[in-house]
Amino acid sequence: MERIPNIGIAADRCVGCGRCVRVCPSMVFEMSGADSCPVVAAPENCIGCSHCVAACPVRAVVHDRFPPERIRPVDRSLLPSPEQLQLLMRARRSNRDLTKRPVPQEHIDRILDAARYAPTASNLQQVGFTVVADPERLNLVVEYTLDFCRRMLRLLEMPLLGPVVRRFVKGADRYRLTFHRLIDEYEQHGRDRVLRGATALILFHTSVGNRFGAIDCQLAYQNGSLMAEALGVSQIYAGFVYTAIHADRKNRLARELGIEGTIHAGMALGMPACLFPNYVEKG
């Protein structure tokens, strides 16, 4: 059973603004009247979201999970403007024109830090991150994905069952051609069209059975993807890898990589050979 946090209100600093009461999603605080000092009515409800300490303008909320050295002021003059943020999102693309230069470790660290700050259901913060940068392990991911493609092709091209599958599975014919292309490029020309020659791969995962695991990982992915774009790092959604993982009931890739849990997303990273000078308006 999780320990109930020690939460208090420093009455000598409290200005009675009531922000802690209003922002708390779990009704930990109560306030008897306007300008009165709130009281900690239900500390057992706390989910550790830190809204109360972040919202207090005078740091009157005392919470043992968030000591003073962890509370930092926000200089809003440093935040990007709406126009800058909008341009970043419009410019973000899966740039597959990659060099062989490794992504600097400090860039990977900042991408992971951005991903950690994404919201999670009930503030459980159960998203895990595994960075794969060793060439042999990256190749293992590629081979695992291509093995899935080969198995799917055998199914789609079976004389009796294949036509039935292609009839009822939307886009099956298109993927059949794509799988052929991925395999042929790799086997005949040595070209990786799965990770596109990325020098690093971040896998996002949660414990098995986590009800909101997929959503939490996608939220973390978006944070990390925007940071990668801001750093000038190419990021590619590893969709073929995830498709193979999603179809694998034995969870083989996770076991091979020492991951305990379910992988919900993958971000391939690389240093771009060029940056796109244009963005295209979406209809």
Q: What is the 3-state secondary structure (H, E, C) of 39-102?
A: EECCHHHCCCCCHHHHHCCCCCEEECCCCHHHCCCCCHHHCCCHHHHHHHHHHCCCCCCECCCC
DSSP 121: G
| pLDDT, tens only, 23-53 | 999 999 999 887 789 999 999 999 999 999 9
pLDDT of residue 165: 72
Residue among 233, 240, 243 nearest 112 (CA):
233
| pLDDT, tens only, 162-177 | 777 777 677 777 888 9
Q: Answer yes or no: are the C-beta atoms of 111 and 233 closer than 8 Å.
A: yes
| pLDDT, tens only, 232-281 | 999 999 999 999 999 999 999 999 999 999 999 999 999 999 999 999 99
Model confidence, pTM? 0.91
| pLDDT, tens only, 54-99 | 999 999 999 999 999 999 999 999 999 999 999 999 999 999 999 9
Q: Which domains does the chain have, with CATH numbers?
A: 7-70 (3.30.70.20), 80-278 (3.40.109.10)
